[in-house]
Amino acid sequence: MTTHTSLPAHPALTLLSEDERLFANSVYQFADREVRPLVREMDEHAKISTTLIDKLFALGVMGIEIPEAHGGAGASFFHSVLAVEAFSRVDPSIGVFVDVQNTLVINALLRWGTDEIRRRYFPRLATNMIGAYALSEAGSGSDAFAMGTRAVDRGSHWSLTGRKLWITNSQEADLFIVFANANPDAGHRGITAFLIERGFEGFRVGKKEDKLGIRASSTCELVLDECRVPHASVLGEAGKGYKVAIETLNEGRIGIGAQMVGLSQGALDHAIAYTKERTQFGKPVAEFQAVQHQLARAATEIHAARLTVYEAARLRDAARPFLTEAAMCKLYTSEVAERVTSLAVNLFGGYGYVKDYPVEKLYRDAKIGQIYEGTSNLQLQTIAKQILG
């Protein structure tokens, strides 16, 4: 089995400050050392190693933007993006595991959580608590606000009833941001975001999905049967859940872009190494001009994709508008990931089609990029609205 270890240096050094470069390289070296040996086993068993999860917390990548006063790293959104990219070069399942924790859950609490909510959850999210983000339902995928989950104010508490589907990190999570409509007559303006802990009465994690790719990343349904939620567990304000969702997902799409860039880079790393080792007609495959041109095109596309992600993340950290850039990076990086991983499989030949070699898995992992956190069609619609005014 080929277990090529790519060079630890970040592939785009000129785009990063010294601090960012050191951070990205340290995360990649950790992934190379601690994650790579577990990739195939985690994929086959569709489960992230619990020992690895403990190491991720110890490394500090599960609370990157959490303030140091609450036990986090106190770093930037851009650092979260760098971490997701670095992990995804080795295993996109770990990339999205870290991504959801940082760009969705922690980011939502930073923006919408009260001081009491932050004091309650940030120290735990930085040390041992995993978060999940529950918006999608069977009948509300792209039309996310057509949700059927209902919330009723019982006076002493909220009562939530419904089902959520496709919830990443749900098997490991102890904290869930769950969206429900408290006033269906008001349409999307009745949607409210709630913080639900795994032990809340009337809440359980249901069926786990058997997926094509990113198999180690858990994806389950959530079942709410008159789930009791304290009033203090509303995130933001009642009826403002649609704003929580929209603004958080815009940032989450940048994280998925980083996952797709890292995945693409990992596939290219493997392809380059293999074509240098594989000989045909008396010389390495990498010496054939047709192969060189395909690798060159892939490297160019990855570099361009990385630029779209970094631009969107920089704009976000600068508190400047980034809606269009987030949609563009999500759209483009997912397309590049599918092309580059397909090329890697082709260059491996028959070996690329079997599980003994890593590019088969990366090819499977790439497909989800065009589907979750907003399909490619939705990204195109967002971009079109912005450019057409």
d(CA 228, CA 107): 25
Q: What is the pLDDT of residues 96-151, one digit of tens each?
A: 999 999 999 999 999 999 999 999 999 999 999 999 999 999 988 778 778 999 99
**Structural domain range at position 339:** 243-388
φ/ψ of 17, rounded to 5, equals -75, 170
DSSP three-state, residue 325: helix
Provide the pLDDT for residue 144: 76
Provide the pLDDT for residue 32: 96
Out of 81, 105, 129, a domain closes at: 129
Provide the pLDDT for residue 7: 52
Residues 48 and 118 in one domain: yes
Which whole number is the average pLDDT over 262-281? 97
What percentage of the chain carries pLDDT values higher than 90? 94
Strand partners, 153: 158
Residue 57 within any structural domain of the chain: yes
Residue 149 within any structural domain of the chain: yes
Residues 81 and 197 in one domain: no
Residue 6 within any structural domain of the chain: no
Strand partners, 283: 280
Q: What is the DSSP letter of 137?
A: B
For helices 323-348 and 241-277, give the axis angle rounded to 10 degrees: 30
Residue 4 within any structural domain of the chain: no
Residues 236 and 251 in one domain: no
As to burial, measured by CB atoms within 10 angstroms (0-12 exposed, 13-18 middle, 19+ buried), residue 158 is: buried
Residues 333 and 207 in one domain: no
User: CATH no. for residue 41?
Assistant: 1.10.540.10
Residues 51 and 74 in one domain: yes
Domain count, the chain: 3
User: CATH no. for residue 287?
Assistant: 1.20.140.10
Strand partners, 224: 162, 203
Residue 308 within any structural domain of the chain: yes
Contact 117, 235 (CB under 8 A): yes
pLDDT band at 13 (very low <50, low <70, confident <90, very high): low
pLDDT band at 2 (very low <50, low <70, confident <90, very high): very low
Res. 325: pLDDT tops 90: yes
Res. 206: pLDDT tops 80: yes
Res. 80: pLDDT tops 70: yes
Res. 4: pLDDT tops 60: no
Residues annotated as catalytic are: 373
Out of 87, 107, 129, a domain closes at: 129
Residue 7 within any structural domain of the chain: no
As a whole number, the mean pLDDT across the chain is 95
Res. 358: pLDDT tops 70: yes
Question: DSSP for 265-283?
Answer: HHHHHHHHHHHHH-EETTE
Res. 6: pLDDT tops 60: no
pLDDT band at 15 (very low <50, low <70, confident <90, very high): confident
Cα Rg of the chain, angstroms? 21
Which whole number is the average pLDDT over 227-254? 96
* CB count in 10 Å sphere of residue 51: 10
pLDDT band at 8 (very low <50, low <70, confident <90, very high): low
